Amino acid sequence: ERLPLVGDAIKKVNTALEKNIELEKYTAMAALAMLAEMKADGIRGVYITSGYRTYEKQSSLWYTYIEKESNAHPDWSSSRIEQEVLTYSARPGTSEHQSGLCIDFITGEMTELVNYGSETKNNPYDIGFAETAAFEWLSRNAYKFGFILRYPESKEGITEYNYESWHYRFVGQAAAAEMHETGECFEEYLNRIS
């Protein structure tokens, strides 16, 4: 069965900063159910900070990151800069966020998306998502709602992306449960079943 287009998405989910987050319809329903269960289990202050991105939005992010890395590393070649950005951002047209199947979480305790607070410069009180109760809950329960941690810490060599404790992808309950059981990342799972 064809998944609904993003235009069929539920437009508003529990968001940070009153953002209007778009998601593919079934992803949105699963995300809302998962957030409700988290709240019922006492996990509060968790928000979706990013969902569906247009090509234009992904392009804007990509070029912002290219500029940031260029400024931080003026001696690097454009190829080296692009390779660095590719460890944490997808080229426009290739981002899973453009599918409407991915969500990024943030908590009220966080000021930016990092795994651990020690990554945050000039803010010793900041915490990262991997240090939150929300992350612990998701590690145990996200698969029940059809979500996987898309870029696990131990799988950077396979996913080719840095660890992102906040980034989850909807794959459906059966596939998510199987990956949870085997410990496979998405690439390993796809390789095995194809």
1 given a catalytic annotation: no
Give, to the nearest 10 degrees, the angle between helix 173-182 and helix 186-193.
100
**46-50/147-151 β-pairing:** unpaired
- SS3 of residue 160 by DSSP: coil
Instruction: Report which of 142, 103, 106, 146 is spatially closest to residue 127, judged by C-alpha positions.
Output: 106
Which tokens hold the place of 60?
A: 């804007």
Return the C-alpha torsion angle 154, 158, 162, 163, nearest 10. Answer: -30
Determine which one of 22, 24, 131, 164 is catalytic.
Answer: 164
Catalytic residues: 164
